[in-house]
């Protein structure tokens, strides 16, 4: 059995579904985040691993039937990915090679303003899993910029191992599974993806083109949960929070807004905001909380499935925050947005709000932001609610 075969067997035995190998030279000329030397200067090969997300869980999440199931699936998958990269790294080191697994997420290269949870906006990873996966033949870049695989679309989680071993690379994928249906753009609540502009990158001597993105601050606002309302205001992500919409077109204004709401979020000021996915996924008390990720979740390999995913999201209603601190979806006309002492507004059930107004004659206020509302007299922290689920 060749070394390449042994490595792939180890990966699959520990839960990998797709495994590919790339040579270091395929990433010459790619964007800076594809430079493996930043993590391991002796890199000669990259091993790329992918595990698909649970499709039943995805549809329950998009249709607002289940909020936390996707987070639980994500946590389990990251546990598998870290186990795979640890096994591969140990095996390669036992063979006398240098090797290092790349952090899955929440680790970025230094940038002006700092890389803490409040200030970062560039978010350049130590090594780009998606570029490594393209170089290893697992897929091509879809129109959204996410990795698109022929077997599972973009609904996959990725991991990478860098090594000094010279390995035989797998063939690049010849045909792009993405047909540019634009559904990834339609389901983005913050207009992060620019529909009519594109950028190109070179990997393995081939040029790949995908949509241009605005500054990451746009994505942070929706994926971190500070704004959840869709463009037509008929559906939302799993966030009940609202900013004035549409967001400013000026990039610096959005950066400032993103930093401001993160600065008012107690969670982002806490120590846990610095934790990597490795820290979180092996912590039994950690509950993964997601609000968006629509562009990846909706993108399955078949167009009819993508259309069905978009239909489920479009008809899922808007998420509101109840006085018990829970989240539920209601038709858009049954929600009311109210001011808070912070930057965001919060959507609450209209009937519940009117009943409270009638009973107490006081406005509902004091809500928190993001995925972790602050403790208040009226709206308790989401943490006890999550722990009881």
**Ranked by mean pLDDT, which of 59-63, 118-122, 359-363 comes out on top?**
59-63
The whole-number average pLDDT for the span 31-59 is: 97
Mean pLDDT confidence for 357-376 = 45
- Residue % of the chain over a pLDDT of 70: 92
> Which residue from 234, 272, 230 is spatially nearest to 247, judged by alpha carbons?
230
Q: What is the mean pLDDT of residues 28-36?
A: 95
DSSP output for 190-258: T--EEEEEEEEEEETTEEEEEEEE--HHHHHHHHTTS--B-TTSS-B-S--EE-SSSPPSSHHHHHHHH
Mean pLDDT highest for which of 180-194, 220-234, 300-314?
300-314
Indicate if the pLDDT at residue 386 is higher than 60: no
pLDDT tens for residues 196-210?
A: 899 999 999 999 999
Using the predicted structure, report yes or no on whether residue 375 has a pLDDT greater than 50.
no
Contact 27, 132 (CB under 8 A): yes
Q: What is the pLDDT of residue 360?
A: 61
Q: Is 342 helix (H, G, I), strand (E, B) or coil?
A: coil
Q: The pTM is what? A: 0.90
Q: At what angle do helices 216-223 and 251-263 cross, to 10 degrees?
A: 40
* Average pLDDT value over all residues in the chain: 89
Kindly write down the DSSP assignment for every residue of 273-291, as one continuous string. GG--HHHHHT-TT-----S
Specify whether the CB–CB gap between 52 and 73 falls below 8 A: no
Segment 228-248 mean pLDDT: 93
Query: At 250, phi and psi to the nearest 5?
Result: -70, 125
Kindly indicate the confidence band of residue 267, based on its pLDDT and cuts at 50, 70 and 90.
confident
């Amino acid at each position: 059995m060749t070394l390449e075969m042994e490595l792939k067997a180890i990966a699959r035995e520990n839960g990998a579904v797709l495994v590919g190998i790339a040579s270091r030279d395929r990433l010459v000329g790619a964007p800076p985040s594809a430079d493996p030397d930043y993590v391991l200067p002796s890199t000669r090969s990259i091993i790329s691993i992918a595990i698909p997300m649970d499709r039943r869980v995805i549809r329950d999440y998009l249709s607002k039937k289940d909020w936390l199931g996707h987070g639980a699936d994500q946590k389990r998958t990251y546990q598998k990915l870290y186990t795979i990269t640890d096994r591969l790294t140990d095996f390669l080191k036992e063979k006398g090679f240098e090797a290092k697994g790349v952090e899955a997420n929440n680790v970025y290269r230094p940038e002006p303003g700092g890389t803490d949870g409040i200030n970062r906006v560039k978010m350049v990873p130590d090594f780009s899993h998606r570029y490594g996966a393209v170089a290893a033949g697992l897929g091509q870049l879809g129109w959204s910029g996410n990795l698109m695989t022929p077997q599972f679309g973009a609904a996959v989680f990725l991991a990478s191992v860098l090594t000094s071993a010279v390995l035989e690379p797998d063939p690049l994928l010849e045909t792009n599974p993405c047909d540019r249906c634009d559904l990834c753009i339609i389901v983005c609540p913050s207009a992060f993806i620019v529909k009519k502009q594109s950028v190109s990158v070179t990997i393995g001597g081939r040029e790949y083109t995908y949509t241009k993105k605005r500054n990451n601050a746009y994505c942070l606002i929706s994926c971190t949960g500070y704004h959840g309302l869709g463009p037509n205001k008929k559906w939302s992500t799993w966030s009940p929070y609202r900013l004035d919409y549409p967001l400013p077109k000026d990039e610096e204004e959005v950066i400032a807004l993103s930093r401001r709401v993160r600065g008012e979020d107690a969670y982002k000021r806490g120590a846990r905001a610095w934790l990597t996915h490795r820290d979180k996924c092996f912590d039994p008390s950690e509950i993964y909380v997601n609000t968006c990720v629509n562009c990846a979740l909706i993108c399955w390999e078949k167009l009819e499935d993508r259309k069905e995913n978009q239909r489920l999201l479009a008809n899922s209603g808007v998420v509101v925050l109840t006085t018990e601190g829970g989240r539920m979806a209601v038709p858009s006309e049954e929600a009311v947005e109210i001011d808070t002492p912070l930057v965001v507004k919060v959507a609450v059930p209209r009937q519940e709000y009117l009943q409270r107004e009638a009973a107490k004659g006081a406005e509902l206020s004091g809500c928190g932001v993001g995925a972790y509302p602050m403790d208040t007299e009226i709206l308790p922290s989401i943490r006890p609610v999550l722990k009881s689920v």
